[in-house]
Structure 1
């Protein structure tokens, strides 16, 4: 191909102009996508508060009784089953497969919304990040269809829309952009082309989201971990205890995934029945936790995003036996939800990792902050094949004063990720014939 007088290929300038046009579209798309994401999260927050706070207060049910989750979970299971069996797209991505960056066709959006808004606020043990990504990507595709022909450019703008949608739920547009970039890299897109649109769209989305929150006064929660005072640097004991904790969490995640994988074929054949079975198991787990510990059954339910503060609440934090029961029963509910229901896999794993860290923080020399940081980092890295995203998320979650804990986070991420990959590879290797 002949070069022009300035040494560039003839189409290089056109490609540069096309990329600049896509970059501008990504920034513009971040505005309506963030509005749609705000509406989704505001409705999700209102429904959750109505079911688990407003109604119990209205009927003088304080604390929430052990039987309260059952009818709501059964209703949620029925709505999720309806979305899976009757609407296009089967309610969205199956969470046991991780966090998908694949584009969701606009025709699938009603099913995704019904499964998310019907299940998540009614007690399903999954998070809102996967539906948010689907909403952001689908809205971006709808808005860009008039300006961009369907192809690689559509995928790029869809990834940018997903980044804008999930920017606020992680508490930082940087975390959202890293998650999207690492996800699309595994999906086959070129991260070097996606990085600027995702960063721009996530930044614009976060700004608009913050402005909408201030303007409307609506409380839309993002991921926060209150009540911790990080040390300036970890002790040697913290570093040493991080290794077995990360190994233990990777093994625990493998058990959760193993149970989910056993249920997945049944969920594929009988989705409605398995969805109802999953919410029934979740209701029984929540009731058992409440009856055994005297604590609220809500701690076993939902994504765990709003319950992280329970683990750091001082006098009201769960004791050792309550933490053991919480890990076992919420882990069970999480496993069945991963295979049969719809939502995101990150937040419950993060909560379970924090609970495991809180439980083992009683070991000699193991501080509560390093233990919870290591637990969250290990759980996030083990549940998703996205180690960089896990490290960035936990580091930013701990706040600007926790830079000294970064070595703990990185060690836990690497150990948990490598352990999970080795276990997974060993499980997939064929057994040699005798």
Structure 2
């Protein structure tokens, strides 16, 4: 919230602002749900209906390679010619930021849907937050003229994060860091009140519409032991170090693509490379990774451990190429898939480590490496377990993982501003 915005009548102000906060959260969830459903329909058309109509195998190498290459070409056309060039490059931006002009939204929505449906290894979080911020800044600005744009942007981020993960807790954790730097007066919870309202409205709306995007079921671990704590201390930083391999090459790969100058060239090349990686890893390594993570867990034990290592390497490479080649999307969902694969590798090689702990600690490390947000990494790791017994171990495992990543470069194209 802007400095001094709550003022002396904070209860009255908070109650008055709760109405636009609820509206922001609900609309954020509706837009997310609509774009996700549209991408699902297009994905079904591309990967099921069309190959069946022409007698092709959608799991075959030529279909995978051709689809990803054409997806890259289509995205490049939109980025090159659409008004606003489909928004800023996701590789150089983090969640949130200033609101985009409304004219940019159609192009950004188009490339986001194409990427999700075509098999690009990015999630929806970056473009959907940018789209929601642009729409809601205008909508709330007209309905509630006294609400500052800065507050609308913050509420939109909170509402969208709540919708993405089905709970306002993630938004609350994220905003503790932001609110702590703001001189707004009042208790910390005063500053978190409106983001929590928006995130709660987004989470409830998304749940009523059919659930969240990330639904992974892990077996319960039970009461943790000292060995479990030691395992968490080892798995999380090792997973973070694995993720940093992708982070280390990200900036030079991004520069290499963008030396081509024309987005049609570098997104088409990126699509072709993703197609080759898809041929090597299969369709399980395509798309944002949410449903694929659940599939890995559902069929755990069916794949040899070294196959899982192979899948993790392919997906990490696909994430780097997707993010560096000009596609619009976020890195969290692919990082979850990589973390699930790494955790299952740990559980396979060291059966004494509970699957729930191995997977959640690996997800913690991977998300921390690519997103560089301790609250987000901890929250997602806790959410996928649904086991309170693992939470305490993860809180401790976060500490050595953070030490591993804290001095490493961020997964951003312009890292100079993010030491």
- TM-score, normalization: structure 2? 0.85
> CA distance change for structure 1 residues 278 and 62 in 2, over 3 Å: closer, same or farther?
closer
Quick one: which of 238, 253, 258 aligns to 2:228? 238
- 1:83 equivalent in structure 2: 78
* Structure 2 residue 157 is the aligned partner of structure 1 residue 162: yes
Further displaced range: 378-387 or 201-210: 201-210
- 1:200 equivalent in structure 2: 197
- 2:271 equivalent in structure 1: 279
> CA distance change for structure 1 residues 46 and 174 in 2, over 3 Å: closer, same or farther?
farther
> CA distance change for structure 1 residues 69 and 390 in 2, over 3 Å: closer, same or farther?
same
- Matches of residues 19-34 of structure 1 in structure 2 within 5 Å? 19-34=14-29
- Root-mean-square deviation (Å): 3.0
> CA distance change for structure 1 residues 327 and 421 in 2, over 3 Å: closer, same or farther?
same
Quick one: which of 264, 289, 312 aligns to 1:327? 312
Residues 136 and 164 in structure 1, CA contact (< 8 A), matched pair in contact too: no
Secondary structure of 1:366's aligned partner: coil
Deviation readout 1:228-285 (Å, 9 max, x if unpaired): 3111123433332333322322222222112210022344442332212211111111
1:154 deviates by: 1.0
- 1:107 equivalent in structure 2: 103
Residues 305 and 348 in structure 2, CA contact (< 8 A), matched pair in contact too: no
1:56 deviates by: 4.6
- 2:360 equivalent in structure 1: 373
Distance (Å, rounded) in 2 between the aligned partners of 1:384 and 1:391? 11
- 2:253 equivalent in structure 1: 263
Further displaced range: 12-21 or 333-342: 12-21
Q: Which runs of 5+ in 1 are unaligned?
A: 1-8, 214-219, 290-296, 430-434
> CA distance change for structure 1 residues 209 and 221 in 2, over 3 Å: closer, same or farther?
closer
Residues 148 and 154 in structure 1, CA contact (< 8 A), matched pair in contact too: no
- 1:294 equivalent in structure 2: none
- TM-score, normalization: structure 1? 0.82
Secondary structure of 1:422's aligned partner: coil
- Matches of residues 16-415 of structure 1 in structure 2 within 5 Å? 19-56=14-51, 64-97=59-92, 99-105=94-100, 106-147=102-143, 153-179=148-174, 181=175, 184=178, 195-213=192-210, 222-226=213-217, 228-269=218-259, 270=261, 271-289=263-281, 297-314=282-299, 317-340=302-325, 341-364=327-350, 365-399=352-386, 402-415=387-400
Distance (Å, rounded) in 2 between the aligned partners of 1:65 and 1:189? 57
> CA distance change for structure 1 residues 68 and 280 in 2, over 3 Å: closer, same or farther?
same
1:320 deviates by: 1.7
> CA distance change for structure 1 residues 175 and 48 in 2, over 3 Å: closer, same or farther?
farther
Q: Which runs of 5+ in 2 are unaligned?
A: none
Distance (Å, rounded) in 2 between the aligned partners of 1:43 and 1:122? 12
Task: State which structure, 1 or 2, has the greater radius of gyration over its C-alpha atoms.
Answer: 1
Residues 290 and 337 in structure 2, CA contact (< 8 A), matched pair in contact too: yes
The aligned length equals: 400
